[in-house]
Chain A
Amino acid sequence: MPTYRPGPVSLLAAGLVALFLLMPLLAVVPVSFTPSRMLAMPSGELSLRHYRALVEDPRWLDSILLSIRIGVVSSAFSTLLALCFSLGVWMFQPRFTALLVGFVLLPMVVPPVVSAITLYFLLTSLSGLSSIFGYDTWLGVAMAHSVMTVPFATVLILVALSQLDRRIDLAARGLGASTWQRATGIIIPNIKFGIVTAALLSFILSWEEIGVTLFITSVNAITLPRLMWMGLRDNINPAIAALSVILILLTVAVLAVRSFIQLRRPARS
């Protein structure tokens, strides 16, 4: 336990920062109940019309389904690639590991706009070759999202592996387990939590992705953030406030479940 505790001034400063951090999230709640067709504070009367619009307007539903599909495909793909790569790093400890890991992490550190123009170049080039993977196609977006999420998945799986005791793998090896048996029977079951977290994070990053998506979609592959963007740029559509409230509640719920699982885990092991 720290013996040096924050005094009243530090608490006040932290409280102001906390208020600053939560304020925009709280501000969308009253706006989402406005009866007006424009962005405004409700005066007196409250209305659920913007929540209804989310359900009734097929564009919102279509883009939600598209975002889920892209998220699932890109998360599965990037988690699988990241898992294989990390297993290779951990089991064989090849030379130049640091260099190779550094290469894999590039999309995470390069400015997003540079990744966006890079993936724009990729997809417009692919458009000439095939019509399913190119610019403004859902598979193209899924592939681009995989590029962007794979570094995060790799980091999480490598961290999970770094906490694994090498001796259990050595024991399996000594008892004659093959490479495949070591990977699937020993290592993967021990880093399950890390793999699931990696898949979940990849899904969330893809679900929220907007910087790259803006560059590589125009009219067909309208993901949810893309549709929100369109509603934010010109005339602000208060349906976005309703959607934001739902997204914030979902985030808080997921975080709560996650900390609950984390709290329970040490009790088990």
Chain B
Amino acid sequence: MRHLTNRTGAALLMAPLLLFLAAAYAWPFLGVVKWSFTLPEPGVGQYGVLLTDPLVQSVFIRTLRICAIVTVASVIGAYAITFVWVRGSPAQRIFAEFCILVPFWISVLTRAFGWVALLSNRGLINTWLQAVGITSEPLALVRNEFGVIVGMTHFLIPFAVFPLASAMRSLDDRVLLAARGLGASRTRTFWTVFVPMTASGIIGAALIVFVFALGFFVTPAILGGGRSVMIAELVYLRIFQSPDWGLGAAISVVLVIFVAALMALLFRYIRPRQMV
């Protein structure tokens, strides 16, 4: 094989991965789609359940509510720290980068556990509140929706940072200088020039966080303590606890369609920069 023709060369190199994913990902996904139409009996019955079952509906609504709150909180938090990461002094930048990257690389379980250690009845915050005498009973901070929102926001902030940082970096400094030169205060420049000019980054970050939050499963399962079940955890429960594979599969299919629609929206706002 001295000089392979383009077609054979490319085929030989690219085939192994494509075949692997076709066999180990695309084919079984079709199998899941099949489950959703055949279990427990052939037909679209499971999709009917999705539309009518009050439990499934309440989980869907709770998921959308939590995802919306988490998205707003993550984007605001990420914006604050990204601003310093991109525009701060060198020392501030290093510190901001450390605060963004260390949590990013630490496993989701460790982070969820950290929140349990902080928020549980005998955790850091409740111990302190009672020692100081602010409260006499432990506050319920975890194993409820509040804990889920806190844990997910913590997990998703770093993901919101990256699109925001790229929007803030590509901003032309001279525009800001012009605003300042024309007499706008620093606060006014920030709100009327800086924030509007990074709007594409904000929309991109919000969509990424929302999409990630939808399929999220580990953090809600630990910090929600089985009480505020989200849609992804419902899939797990339907597969392993009350075996109803058809419903679990149907929820998965709906989730994929929903995420695909959101991704299409995402690509309309952020042109993917050429990857290759």
Which residues of A does B touch, CB under 8 Å? 2-7, 9-11, 13-14, 16-18, 20-25, 27-28, 30-31, 38-41, 81-82, 84-85, 87-92, 94, 97, 100-101, 103-104, 106-107, 109-122, 125, 143-144, 146-147, 150, 154-155, 158-159, 161-162, 178-180, 204, 207-208, 210-211, 214-215, 225, 228-229, 232-233, 236, 240-241, 244, 247-248, 251-252, 254-255
Residues of B within 8 A of A147 (CB): 20-21, 24-25
Chain B: which residue is nearest A92 at the CB level? B10
Contacts A18-B81, A118-B29 known; A24 to B194 CB distance under 8 Å? no
Interface residues of B in 233-272 (CB under 8 A from A): 235-236, 239-240, 248-249, 252, 255-256, 259, 263
When distances are taken between beta carbons in the complex, the residues of chain A under 8 Å from B139 are: none
Query: What are 21 residue pairs bridging A and B, where the CB atoms are less than 8 Å apart in the complex?
Result: A4-B180, A7-B186, A9-B187, A14-B88, A14-B96, A21-B157, A27-B115, A94-B7, A97-B276, A103-B18, A107-B21, A114-B32, A117-B252, A119-B25, A121-B35, A125-B31, A159-B275, A179-B4, A204-B105, A208-B107, A229-B109
Contact: A20 with B17, CB < 8 Å?
no
Q: Which of B40-48, B53-61, B122-130, B198-206 contacts A (4 or more CB under 8 A)?
A: B122-130
B165 at the interface (CB under 8 A from A): no
Q: Report the Cα distance A89→B106, complex, angstroms.
A: 32
Q: B102: CB under 8 A from chain A?
A: yes
Q: B118–A104 contact, CB under 8 A?
A: no
Knowing A20-B154, A121-B28, A251-B102 touch, does A211 contact B217 (C-beta < 8 A)?
Answer: yes
Which residues of the partner chain B approach A233 to less than 8 Å between Cβ atoms? 221-222
Q: Which residues of chain B have C-beta atoms less than 8 A from A121's C-beta?
A: 28-29, 31-32, 35
CA distance A38 to B116 in the complex (A): 13
A40 cross-chain contacts in B, Cβ below 8 A: 122
Given A4-B180, A4-B194, A39-B116 contact (CB < 8 Å): yes
Smallest beta-carbon distance A13→chain B, Å? 4
Quick one: closest B residue to A38, CB to CB? B122
Q: Is the CB of A94 within 8 A of B32?
A: no
- Chain A, Cβ-Cβ closest to B175: A4
- Known contacts A88-B14, A106-B21; A24/B115 CB under 8 A: yes
User: Are B84 and A85 in contact (CB-based, < 8 A)?
Assistant: no
Q: In the complex the two chains form, is A247's CB within 8 Å of B106's CB?
A: yes
B: residues with CB less than 8 A from A are 1-4, 6-7, 9-14, 16-18, 20-21, 24-29, 31-32, 35, 77-78, 80-81, 83-84, 86-89, 92, 95-96, 99-103, 105-118, 120, 122-124, 127, 154, 157, 173, 176-177, 180, 186-187, 189-190, 194, 211, 214-218, 221-222, 232, 235-236, 239-240, 248-249, 252, 255-256, 259, 263, 274-276
Q: State how many angstroms separate the Cβ of A205 from the closest Cβ of chain B.
A: 10
Question: Do B111 and A24 have beta carbons less than 8 Å apart?
Answer: yes
Contacts of A112 in B (CB 8 A): 215-217, 232
Cα–Cα, bound, A117→B211 (Å): 18
Residues of chain A contacted by B276 (CB below 8 angstroms): 89-90, 97, 101, 158, 161-162
